[in-house]
Amino acid sequence: MQPWPHDTHLYVDAFAAQAWVPVTRDIRLEATGLSVSYDRAAQVVEATVDISSLTPRGTLRGGVLDPDGLSERDIAWVSQRVHGRILPDVGPATFRSRRFGGVSVPGTVEWNGVQHEVRLQFRDESRWRRAEVRLDVRDFGIEPYRGRSGLFKVKPELRVVVTTEWGGRGDDWYEKSRV
C-alpha cells in the first residue's frame, strides 16, 4: 500500500433528534486524523479515521454548512460530548474498498469490531469527487447519545461525506471512471 496521492477530506454530520429544543443543532465534524492508502495492482483503497480527531466545523441549516454557526463556547461543548459520549472512543474506523476507480466504490466499514458493507457513490464537483454514505451507529454496537435529562438526543444515523481531489483527463481515477 502507498499513500493516496490526492487531497482527501472526511466529514461526519451528526443530527439532533429533537429540533424543537433550541440548544440542539445538526453539527458537521471534520476528521483531522485521516489516513488514506491504496494498492494500484489490487485495486484497493483503505482509509482509516481516528474518531478522536473529529473536530466541530459548524452547524448544518437545511443541509448547508454554516461555519459561523458555533461559538467558541459551543465548539468546546460539542467537542467535550463528541469524544467519549456521542462517538465513544472505540478505536478507529476503517473503510476498505473491494475495488476503486469509477463512480461506484463498494467496500467494508469496520468500526468497534463490527463490519458493515457500504457503497460509495461518487459524483464530480469541479475538481473534486464527492461521496456520501449513511451509517447507523447501532449497526456497530454503539448506542445513540442521550443526555442525562433526556432533552438532548442524537439520531443514530450519521452522514459521512468524503471528498477527494482529482485531476480530470489524464488522472488514473478519471480514466477508470470512464470505463
* Higher pLDDT pick, 150 / 46: 46
pLDDT band at 179 (very low <50, low <70, confident <90, very high): very low
**HEC secondary structure over 115-179:** EEEEEEEEEEECCEEEEEEEEEHHHHCCCCCECCCCCCEEEEEEEEEEEEECCCCCCHHHHHHCC
Q: What is the average per-residue pLDDT within 64-82? A: 85
For the chain, the domains span 2-177
- CATH class of residue range 2-177: mainly beta
Question: Residue 178 above 60 pLDDT?
Answer: no
pLDDT band at 176 (very low <50, low <70, confident <90, very high): low
